[in-house]
Structure 1
Amino acid sequence: MPGLFQLKEKIWSFGGNYVIRDQNEEPVYAVKGKVFSWGKDLSFQDYNTGQELFRIKQILMSFMPRFEILKDGASVAEIRKEFQWFGQKFTLDVPGPNDYTIDGSFWQREFEFRRASGLSARVSKEFWNWTDTYGIEIYEGDEAFILATAIVIDLVLFEKKSN
């Protein structure tokens, strides 16, 4: 059975603040962005304890959008938007040879995470909401990296303030 999550941006937030809930609608993660920073800088935290699990930082001097995930100050993954004429494509580079590719459609607002072993997750953006809201199904892999990558997709494609 897949892990089911809802990622929702907080309304009236500055810097990118999100709450991630599980299938029982219980909050499990909080993401808090810095208001004043060069590029996006977000703290991915355990909702109940407030402990920072990792940090999501934008890499500024890049042709296409790039972000890195840091744990205890060390880079553990990099998310890159790839150039494509049609559709949207991202790469989630994790340690080892089994990176994720994320393919999707800006217009359909559907994204699939794939590895060599097959489909790992599916992300769907809801259309008629006041805030950015996503349904996320995770079949395999590290849920934290997948959830952080969904936040990066929102920052790159759907948040007007990020440009």
Structure 2
Amino acid sequence: MARLIFQLLAIQLVLVATVFSIFSSSGKVKDATKYQLQQKVLTLGSSYVIKDQKDKPVYKVGFKALGLGKNLQLTDPTGKQEYYSIKHILNPLGLAKYEIRQNDQVVADISRKINIGGKKFSVKSKFGTYGIEGNFRSREFKIKKDHHLVATISKKFFAIGDKYGVKITQGQDVPFILALAIVVDEVAHD
């Protein structure tokens, strides 16, 4: 009897491992470029630089004009060309809600979903539907577009310091994906 139970458990483990391996192939970002994103260190008037995998500054994050809620902007390293602005929408329920804007037009709405054990966000944008899910404690997140993995956000890349690694697949709107990563960082530190 014990042997039969052991065999059934072994078969079940093999089946679970097989199913996991089939679906985990979507867990890795292929043909990706890595970016270094500072953990939230913004104080009024400060900014930080996002670097590429060659440690070259490629984007800058800073405060935009003051208003209700927090307003950030993602620009080129000089701060002259704005790609996207990120606006925190005050929500009486306390759930995170953000807008990503381009040329003062809303291009994406980001809402936090209630989820036990992890965090999920839904993103409705002019670029398609995105989902962000992960774990704030381990600082590991996946960004999927139409159920296909397009980016990962990980603190694992950096053993020391307050930085995230963001891996983005080729062909994506890199500033937009980085804006999503900034939202995740904002929520992680609120």
**Alignment of structure 1 residues 97-112 onto 2, 5 Å:** 98-112=128-142
Counterpart position of 1:39: 69
Question: Residue 62 of structure 1: CA displacement?
Answer: 4.9
Question: Residue 128 of structure 1: CA displacement?
Answer: 5.6
Matched, 1:14 2:6: no
Higher strand share: 1
Percentage of pairs with the same residue: 37
- In 2, Cα distance between equivalents of 1:56 and 1:150: 11
Counterpart position of 1:137: 167
- In 1, Cα distance between equivalents of 2:92 and 2:126: 21
RMSD value over aligned CA atoms? Answer: 2.3
SS of 1:141's partner is: coil
Count of aligned pairs = 156
- Could you tell me which of 95, 99, 113 is aligned with 1:68? 99
Residue type at the aligned position of 1:124: S
Question: Residue 58 of structure 1: CA displacement?
Answer: 0.7
Counterpart position of 1:90: 121
- In 1, Cα distance between equivalents of 2:43 and 2:151: 28
Residues 33-67 of structure 1: CA deviation (Å, up to 9, x unaligned) = 25954211111111146211221111113531111
Identify if the C-alpha distance between structure 1 residues 105 and 128 changes in structure 2 by more than 3 Å, giving closer, same or farther.
Answer: same
Counterpart position of 2:5: none
Residue type at the aligned position of 1:154: D
SS of 1:38's partner is: coil
- In 2, Cα distance between equivalents of 1:34 and 1:115: 28
Normalising to structure 1: TM-score of the pair? Answer: 0.84
Matched, 1:114 2:147: no
Higher helix share: 2
Residue type at the aligned position of 1:65: A
Question: Residue 151 of structure 1: CA displacement?
Answer: 0.8
Contact 1:7 1:21 in 2 (8 A): yes
Unpaired stretches in structure 1, ≥5 consecutive residues: none
Counterpart position of 2:58: 28
Provide runs of 4+ in structure 1 moved above 6 Å: none
SS of 2:178's partner is: helix
Unpaired stretches in structure 2, ≥5 consecutive residues: 1-30
Residue type at the aligned position of 2:43: F
SS of 1:137's partner is: strand
Identify if the C-alpha distance between structure 1 residues 40 and 90 changes in structure 2 by more than 3 Å, giving closer, same or farther.
Answer: same
- Could you tell me which of 78, 81, 86 is aligned with 1:51? 81
Normalising to structure 2: TM-score of the pair? Answer: 0.73
SS of 2:176's partner is: helix
